[in-house]
Amino acid sequence: MIVARTGNEAMAEAMRQINPDVVAAYPITPATEIVQLFAKFVNDGLVDTEFVPVESEHSACSACCGASASGARVMTSTASQGLALMHEILFIAAGLRLPITICLVNRSLSSPINIHCDHSDTMASRDAGWLQIYTENAQEAYDTTIQLVKMAEQALLPGIVSTDAFIISHGMERVELIDDKEVPKFLGERKVNYSLLDVDNPITLGPLDLQDYFFEHKRSEIDAMDNVLPIIEKVQKEFGDKFGRYYPIVDEYKLDDAEVAILVMGSTGGTAKVAVERMREKGKKVGLIRARVYRPFPKDAMTKALSKVKVIGVMDRSDTMSTLGGHLYNDARSILYKSDNQPLMKNYIYGLGGRDISIEEIEAIYEQLFDIQKSGEVDKDVVYFGVRGE
């Protein structure tokens, strides 16, 4: 069915079709609507979910952990400060290998307070051991929400699927919905080996784990991250085979014959694709790489993509505050350290706090990349693009 939906509505529709056992959430702009719409589905009897409007995100994530540990299919939604408040519990969920899916809307972290898009919230949680997938539009947000539930349950890892604040969350787009009956079929029942409330086999979760075994348990969590990419690929393929929409781990656009390329995430991927078209019309060989799966970082696929061009402009909507530039840039540079084919690389930090990025600005970045190609030199590794006083 083809409908007009905002990103938030699309994610709420996905949640309705997933019909999770438990949703615990606390409202926050611009993600509030997702659970608000979901509450209406609960009210209208369209889902069988136990919905708990808890008193904070810390409680929301904790309640999700409890429910997931008892074998339930669990979802929540948040943004920015809400994710920051969940921070402690994010590590609990990952460490205890509890699949939970968060429909997240990327909004900048305070301070200063702001409700618009950047990626500082999820980037601050990137080491929590959660899968992270950034989407480009409402369709991808909808599809990925459904996929992620399956990926998380198969990998026994929690995951975040995100959209850009307002740009996707509140922008209305054409979305193709899957038939209601098909989604539960695609997902199947959650299979649980060990769970709470299994009276014949009582288990204890979260006990003290000191020098004797802590390291092995952490190592196994890292193993799970190491092994999850094939699961992600498999689920994406199954989804594509069934519903006709295939998603890659790393989204390459007009890259094969490109001389320079931009590496980007989220909705800017869509804007940059238009810039690519325009540049190509002018005969300029430019390409685009969009990091869709960000955690785990897909090093092989990403190295392959990055190695195709001579100059890369990495666009980060977040800064590591380490004087080393943005998150994506640091990951991209790091994986190329042992690569034979090392493109020149420049980092553009842009759009913090929702500052708009236009097609023309991206074209200007491409022009700068051509200058770098010509001179063979990157004058300044990290620049702050579109900020006063730069």
Partner 1 sequence: MQTPKTNQQKKIQVDSSSMDRIHPMENVLRMDRIPHIWCPGCGIGLAVTAFAAALEKAEIDLSKIVIVSGIGCTGRVAGYVKLDSFHTTHGRAIAFATGIKVANPDMKVVVFSGDGDLIAIGGNHFIHAARRNIDMLVVCVNNFIYAMTGGQVAPTTPLTAYATTCPFGCVEPPFNIPYLADSSGAVYVARWTTLHVRRLTNAFVEALNKKGFSVVEAISPCAQYYSRINRLGDGLDMMRYYHDNAEIRNGEDTKNLDIDFQGKIIVGKFIDRERPSYTDRYNEWLSKVKGGENEPG
Kindly write out the interface string for residues 198-227 of this chain, putting x where it contacts ligand TPP by CB under 6 A and - elsewhere. ------------------------------
Taking CB under 8 A as the criterion, the residue among 4, 40, 214, 358 binding partner 1 is 40
- Count Cβ atoms within 10 A of the Cβ of residue 340 and give its class: 0-12 exposed, 13-18 middle, 19 or more buried: exposed
Helix then strand then coil, in percent of the chain rounded to 5, is: 40, 20, 40
Q: Which residue has the tokens 């590496």?
A: 263
Cα(252)–Cα(287) distance, integer angstroms: 8
**Subset of residues 49 to 88 that bind ligand TPP, contact rule: CB under 6 A:** 57, 81-82, 85
3-state secondary structure 134-166: ECCCHHHHHHHHHHHHHHHHHHCCCEEEEEECC
User: Of 19, 42, 170, 243, which one interacts with partner 1 (CB under 8 A)?
Assistant: 42
Helix (H) or strand (E) holding 74: strand 74-79
Which of partner 1, ligand TPP, none does residue 154 bind (CB under 5 to 8 Å by kind)? none
Residue among 27 and 353 whose Cβ is closer to ligand TPP: 27
Q: CA 304 to CA 294: how far, in whole Å?
A: 15
Report in angstroms how near the CB of residue 110 gets to ligand TPP at its nearest: 8
Q: Binding to partner 1 by residue 237, rule CB under 8 A?
A: no
Give the number of residues in contact with partner 1, rule: CB under 8 A. 19
**Of 370, 328, 258, 373, whose CA–CA distance to 118 is shortest?**
328
**Rounded to an integer, what distance in angstroms lies between the CA atom of residue 61 and that of residue 100?**
9
Minimum distance between the CB of residue 353 and ligand TPP, rounded to whole angstroms? Answer: 15
Q: Tell me which residue has tokens 């505050």.
A: 321
Nearer to partner 1, 32 or 145 (CB): 32
How near is the Cβ of 24 to partner 1 at its closest, in Å?
A: 11
Task: Tell the smallest beta-carbon distance from residue 46 to partner 1 (Å).
Answer: 12
Q: In this chain, which of 19, 29, 303, 373 binds partner 1, going by CB under 8 A? A: 29
In the complex, the smallest distance separating the C-beta of residue 21 from partner 1, rounded to whole angstroms, is: 18
Structure tokens at 79: 């943004």
Reduced to 3 states (helix: H, G, I; strand: E, B; else coil), residue 322 is coil
By CB under 6 A, name the one of 15, 28, 89, 276 that touches ligand TPP: 28
Nearest approach in angstroms of CB 154 to ligand TPP is 31
Binding test (CB under 8 A) with partner 1, winner from 9, 13, 21, 33: 33
Number of residues that bind ligand TPP (CB under 6 A): 7
- Binding to partner 1 by residue 43, rule CB under 8 A? yes
How many C-beta neighbours within 10 Å does residue 280 have? 15
- Residue 61 C-beta: closest distance to partner 1, Å: 13
DSSP string across 80-129: HHHHHHHHHHHHHHHHTT---EEEEEE-PPSSS---S--SHHHHTTTTSS
Q: How far is the CB of 77 from ligand TPP (least distance, A)?
A: 11
Residue pair 316/303 in contact by the 8 Å Cβ criterion:
no
By CB under 8 A, residue 113 contacts partner 1:
yes
Q: Which residues bind ligand TPP (CB under 6 A)?
A: 26-28, 57, 81-82, 85
Q: Which residues bind partner 1 (CB under 8 A)?
A: 26-29, 32-33, 35-36, 39-40, 42-43, 51, 53, 55-56, 81, 110, 113
